[in-house]
Structure 1
């Protein structure tokens, strides 16, 4: 399978090519002066269909299904193949560009992550499998004959990339709902294609499960620790604006409102905890790298937590009005493991200060506050804040220690990239 010179997600932040064109309203004909309102992938997609053995009627069925029958080239006095030729000529094939180099910093090593190698047969079979799984729903929802066999032909002859995007666009155009398991498979399948997540997520109707703060569907940090991270080196946006962004930052795999629900649970636990105001203040400043000091906005830390809770509740009223927050169980079984890692690193923590030149937070104070969170509030929240403090301190980590953090993160159910926020400080033996 031929891949683009750059990942799709760096080229397009929405659907693209003929599937993206089908998702936009208006004519899909040349504009004044012969210009085309599309992108260069539309030319590639057009050539893929033109080179296939799909008949005029088949391609027309495919397009009308994806476009929701809003624009029909045949109704404009042209054939579908002639229309595709216009796109192919507007965006002719370009010679391949030299491959770009990708580097990722990890301690003193430079690692070049490889882009996925797409195997035509494997990707084709995977897309055909998804079509088979939703085929009955498609046949009922799309008022066009033979849409499922035509879509299958397109995957086989025009390629799984275009076929998958057309499948998604047809599901969206005809409001075909998919369950969460199917949706997760779509997201997983989109990753080797290197799509922006909006290509799958945008406009797709999903039967989301009820909100549950205990679910771990995010690949990254979340909750109060994520809020602290957003305010580290804070320089852009108003405080309420950043707070609302974090409360609305649902991961692509999360039910709408999840970010607010997990943040509200963290904040509620802290407010109800026996931690002193001084400990809460130390905790917030340490995890946020002193990037936002509530007292400079005439707030104490408890007022800041209450303000955070109010924003979360406002978000939940908008996205999940039936949701009723209830305190869930904590992972008390992992408290000793988190405390063991914290105390193992404590001698090094006490020798450091977070933001030492700007009314900094001594590492010893941060360590004490973290121990209190782990033992008196929630080991999960304590471990997430511990990772944030390590990042704030630029703490060097051995590969063995980092591996233990990854294993502990897996036991908490963290996503793939959560613990990796501190991997830049791994000390390698190489």
Structure 2
């Protein structure tokens, strides 16, 4: 059966289809029988106002229509549920159990018209099957060891990897990957950062919700390193300013900083968001910049979202509060962490100063927060230039992107491309510049 892919991240918050059923069977309090497996399948089918039945039905048909022998399907299912449910023990056997599922949830159209969905993910099935098989083989050694150490029903050591790979190659690449992820999680198989990144790349290509991969996965994270650029978007102090835009008054300022410090990107070692924010705050605190300049930076980059000047808060005291919150977060995540400043990118200082000068016409005659205690754009840009010259070109460029986001001027395609190129030189994530400038009008032509 052909699988029509969707942006599953719109439909689901986590797993779906047969792999979600495998998870339910694994976590159930008592050893489930066939009747309970069908009840749990009904719950899976009912999610998202019944749209879950579509993926469940497709998964079942992919296995039923495949040339896979029953023992291969059984082994893959046993290992995905940690031996909690054996379909071979059902009265009608493995395929009989699948047929009962197929009868309840046959192939059907979605309730929502295809035109209402975002662009469908596009990945060739053979490309997907090859990639999934490669990841299964990459985990073969540790997977076999973990299964051998477990106390569930014995399986031939070679059959596990072979069965999972057969499901991916002869059944369906999408289902094969999801069952493989279930196996990694139920046996707590360690996954290094490189493999994790490959799995997340497949997640993106398939349009899955991110938690489907990373929730419960035992990732061998590298040590926190503020010099790494793993996040896809903004980070550090420039990212924190965005947390104070618009209506955030439901939190205290300290609670808001705590949320930002805990907002690690899915590609980052836990604690990285706090470490990067701490590095920026520390550099500004230790710099020779006047406190008034730091105040202008904060107020302008946040669009006066948090008026520390009106609250009588000294800008350096604000940075010290940010440092305290980051230290708290890092003590919770990794008590052994000790802050070390990442190396300065002095090689790019002149390049950043050039784009700051080129941005002068965009900000000279503009006021930030024009309706209430406006900040001249020229003053904000001068403060950014001070950061680039005397503190850190990286932080200065990120704050420039924030200013452009707040002011929303029109950019030429040449300007936009220059910002993208400079972002790549700083090793920013793919979405960093795009997200910072997404609402700006770029002329002429489309963005590159």
Aligned counterpart for 2:437 among listed residues 414, 418, 422: 422
Q: After superposition, where does 1:25-36 map in structure 2 within 5 Å?
A: 25-26=27-28, 27=32, 29-31=37-39, 35-36=42-43
Alignment partners' CA distance in 1, 2:270 and 2:197: 15
* TM-score of the two chains, using structure 2 as the length reference: 0.88
Give the corresponding residue for 1:346.
360
Number of residue equivalences: 419
List per-residue Cα deviations over 1:164-183 (Å, max 9, x = no partner): 11111111111110111111
- The CA RMSD measured in Å over matched residues stands at 2.1
Query: Shift of residue 73 of structure 1?
Result: 4.2
- Whether the aligned pair in 2 keeps the contact of 1:338 and 1:379 (CA below 8 Å) is yes
Change (3 A) 1:83 1:200: same
Alignment partners' CA distance in 1, 2:307 and 2:386: 21
Aligned counterpart for 1:129 among listed residues 134, 140, 148: 134
Alignment partners' CA distance in 1, 2:95 and 2:255: 49
Query: Shift of residue 92 of structure 1?
Result: 2.3
Aligned counterpart for 1:139 among listed residues 136, 140, 144: 144
Change (3 A) 1:194 1:236: farther
Give the corresponding residue for 2:266.
252
The 3-state SS of whatever aligns with 1:93 is coil
Alignment partners' CA distance in 2, 1:321 and 1:77: 54
Give the gaps of 5 or more residues in structure 2.
46-51, 149-154
The 3-state SS of whatever aligns with 1:30 is helix
- Whether the aligned pair in 1 keeps the contact of 2:122 and 2:206 (CA below 8 Å) is no
Change (3 A) 1:221 1:80: same
Give the corresponding residue for 2:48.
none
Change (3 A) 1:261 1:231: same
Alignment partners' CA distance in 2, 1:398 and 1:303: 39
1:221 maps to 2:234: yes
Change (3 A) 1:318 1:139: same
1:167 maps to 2:176: no
Query: Shift of residue 286 of structure 1?
Result: 0.5
Alignment partners' CA distance in 2, 1:228 and 1:35: 45
Change (3 A) 1:30 1:321: same
Alignment partners' CA distance in 2, 1:311 and 1:252: 21
Alignment partners' CA distance in 2, 1:102 and 1:402: 29
- Whether the aligned pair in 2 keeps the contact of 1:213 and 1:258 (CA below 8 Å) is yes
1:192 maps to 2:205: yes
- Whether the aligned pair in 1 keeps the contact of 2:238 and 2:398 (CA below 8 Å) is yes
- Whether the aligned pair in 1 keeps the contact of 2:291 and 2:316 (CA below 8 Å) is yes
1:378 maps to 2:392: yes
Query: Shift of residue 153 of structure 1?
Result: 1.3
* TM-score of the two chains, using structure 1 as the length reference: 0.91
The 3-state SS of whatever aligns with 1:299 is coil
Query: Shift of residue 341 of structure 1?
Result: 0.8
Alignment partners' CA distance in 1, 2:18 and 2:117: 29
Change (3 A) 1:35 1:218: closer
Q: After superposition, where does 1:213-292 map in structure 2 within 5 Å?
A: 213-235=226-248, 237-238=250-251, 239-292=253-306
Change (3 A) 1:57 1:237: farther
Change (3 A) 1:297 1:87: farther
Q: After superposition, where does 1:286-305 map in structure 2 within 5 Å?
A: 286-305=300-319
- Whether the aligned pair in 2 keeps the contact of 1:380 and 1:412 (CA below 8 Å) is yes
Query: Shift of residue 18 of structure 1?
Result: 1.5
Change (3 A) 1:44 1:101: closer
Change (3 A) 1:263 1:349: same
- Whether the aligned pair in 2 keeps the contact of 1:331 and 1:378 (CA below 8 Å) is yes
